Chains A and B, each alone.
Chain A
Amino acid sequence: MINLKEYSSNGAFDEFISDQSKFRTQASKIGNLLNSLTSSELKDIHQATQSAIKSMGISFRVYDKNNSFEDRSWPLDFIPRIIRNSEWDTVSKGLQQRCKAINLFIEDCYNDQEFLKSGLMDPNLILKSPSFKKECIGMKLPYSVWSHISGTDLIRDKDGNFYVLEDNLRVPSGVSYMIENRLVMKKVFPELFNHYGVLPVDEYTSKLYSTLASLQSSKSKPEIVILTPGVFNSAYFEHSHLAQQLGIDLVQGSDLLVSEDGYVYKKTINGLKKIDVIYRRINDDYLDPLVWNKNSTLGVQGIINAWKNKKVVIVNAPGCGIADDKAVYSYVPQMIKFYLNESPILKNIDTFLCSDKNSRDYVINHMQDLVVKPVNESGGYGIVIGRDTTNKERLEVGKKINQNPRNYVAQPLVSLSTAPTYCSGELDARHMDLRPFVLSGAKNYVSVGGLTRVALKKGATVVNSSQGGGSKDTWVIDR
Chain B
Amino acid sequence: MLSRDAEHFYWLSRYVERAENTARILNVNVELMLDFPGDKSSMWKPLIEITGMEKVFIEKYQEFDEINSVKFLSDDKENPNSILSSLIMAQYNARPIRNNLPRSSAEQLNLILKDFINDMASTKSRSRRTNYIYEVISKSQLFFGIISDNFLRGTEYQFIKLGRFIERADMISRIIDQQCLRDTSTLGENFPTLQWASILRSMSAYESYRMFSQGDISQKEVLNFLIKNKDYGRSISSCLYNVENSINNLPRNTPIKSEIKNLHNRIQKARLEKYSDMKIHDFIDLLQRKLLLIDELIDKSYFHNN
Binding site for B on A (CB under 8 A): 55-57, 230-231, 240-241, 243-244, 249-252, 254-255, 257, 266-272
Contact A268 B99 (CB under 8 A): no
Give A271 to B305 CA distance when docked, in angstroms.
Answer: 6
Q: Identify which of residues 155-202 in chain B touch chain A, using a CB-to-CB cut-off of 8 Å.
A: 155
- Name the one of A56, A57, A251 contacting B2, with C-beta atoms under 8 angstroms: A251
A57-B106, A257-B306 given as contacts; is B6 within 8 A of A269 (CB)? yes
Known contacts A249-B5, A269-B3; 9 further A-B pairs (Cβ under 8 A): A231-B96, A240-B98, A240-B99, A241-B99, A267-B306, A269-B251, A269-B252, A269-B303, A272-B306
Give A471 to B3 CA distance when docked, in angstroms.
Answer: 37
Contact A269 B100 (CB under 8 A): no
Contact B99 A270 (CB under 8 A): no
> What is the distance, in angstroms, from B298's C-beta to the closest C-beta of chain A?
10
Give the residue name and chain of the A residue nearest to B106 (CB).
Answer: A57
* Inter-chain contact total with CB atoms closer than 8 Å: 55
Residues of A within 8 A of B1 (CB): 268-270
Give A55 to B111 CA distance when docked, in angstroms.
Answer: 13
Residues of B within 8 A of A272 (CB): 306
Residues of A within 8 A of B3 (CB): 255, 267-269
Give A57 to B303 CA distance when docked, in angstroms.
Answer: 29
Give A56 to B103 CA distance when docked, in angstroms.
Answer: 8
- Is the CB of B210 closer than 8 A to any CB of chain A? no
> What is the distance, in angstroms, from A63's C-beta to the closest C-beta of chain B?
16
- Sort A-B residue pairs by CB-CB distance and give the 10 closest, nearest first: A269-B302, A240-B99, A267-B3, A244-B99, A231-B95, A269-B6, A269-B1, A249-B2, A267-B306, A270-B251
The SS class assigned to the B binding surface is helix
Residues of A within 8 A of B4 (CB): 251-252, 254-255, 267
Contact A270 B2 (CB under 8 A): no
Give the residue name and chain of the B residue nearest to A267 (CB).
Answer: B3
Chain A to chain B contacts (Cβ below 8 Å), 17 pairs: A57-B98, A57-B106, A231-B95, A240-B99, A241-B99, A244-B99, A250-B96, A251-B2, A254-B4, A255-B2, A266-B2, A269-B2, A269-B250, A269-B252, A270-B251, A270-B252, A271-B306
> What is the distance, in angstroms, from A109's C-beta to the closest C-beta of chain B?
36
A57-B106, A257-B306, A272-B306 given as contacts; is B2 within 8 A of A267 (CB)? yes
> What is the distance, in angstroms, from B275's C-beta to the closest C-beta of chain A?
39
> What is the distance, in angstroms, from A133's C-beta to the closest C-beta of chain B?
29
Binding site for A on B (CB under 8 A): 1-6, 95-96, 98-100, 103, 106-107, 155, 250-252, 301-303, 305-306
> What is the distance, in angstroms, from A450's C-beta to the closest C-beta of chain B?
23
A257-B306, A267-B305 given as contacts; is B96 within 8 A of A244 (CB)? no
Residues of A within 8 A of B106 (CB): 57
Residues of A within 8 A of B103 (CB): 55-57
> What is the distance, in angstroms, from A238's C-beta to the closest C-beta of chain B?
11
Give the residue name and chain of the B residue nearest to A240 (CB).
Answer: B99
Give A57 to B107 CA distance when docked, in angstroms.
Answer: 9
> What is the distance, in angstroms, from A223's C-beta to the closest C-beta of chain B?
12
Give the residue name and chain of the A residue nearest to B100 (CB).
Answer: A244
Give the residue name and chain of the A residue nearest to B4 (CB).
Answer: A255
> What is the distance, in angstroms, from A195's C-beta to the closest C-beta of chain B?
31
> What is the distance, in angstroms, from B256's C-beta to the closest C-beta of chain A?
12
Give the residue name and chain of the A residue nearest to B7 (CB).
Answer: A269
Residues of A within 8 A of B251 (CB): 269-270
> What is the distance, in angstroms, from A271's C-beta to the closest C-beta of chain B?
6
Residues of A within 8 A of B107 (CB): 57
Contact A269 B306 (CB under 8 A): no
> What is the distance, in angstroms, from A423's C-beta to the closest C-beta of chain B?
29
Give the residue name and chain of the A residue nearest to B96 (CB).
Answer: A231
Give the residue name and chain of the B residue nearest to A243 (CB).
Answer: B99
Contact A269 B305 (CB under 8 A): yes
Residues of B within 8 A of A231 (CB): 95-96
Give A251 to B252 CA distance when docked, in angstroms.
Answer: 22
Give A240 to B8 CA distance when docked, in angstroms.
Answer: 15
Residues of A within 8 A of B100 (CB): 244
Give A249 to B301 CA distance when docked, in angstroms.
Answer: 20
Give the residue name and chain of the A residue nearest to B1 (CB).
Answer: A269
Residues of A within 8 A of B305 (CB): 267, 269, 271
Residues of B within 8 A of A241 (CB): 99
Give A361 to B189 CA distance when docked, in angstroms.
Answer: 96
Give the residue name and chain of the A residue nearest to B301 (CB).
Answer: A269
Residues of B within 8 A of A57 (CB): 98, 103, 106-107
Residues of B within 8 A of A254 (CB): 4
Give the residue name and chain of the A residue nearest to B159 (CB).
Answer: A269
Give A255 to B304 CA distance when docked, in angstroms.
Answer: 10
Give the residue name and chain of the B residue nearest to A241 (CB).
Answer: B99
Give A254 to B5 CA distance when docked, in angstroms.
Answer: 12
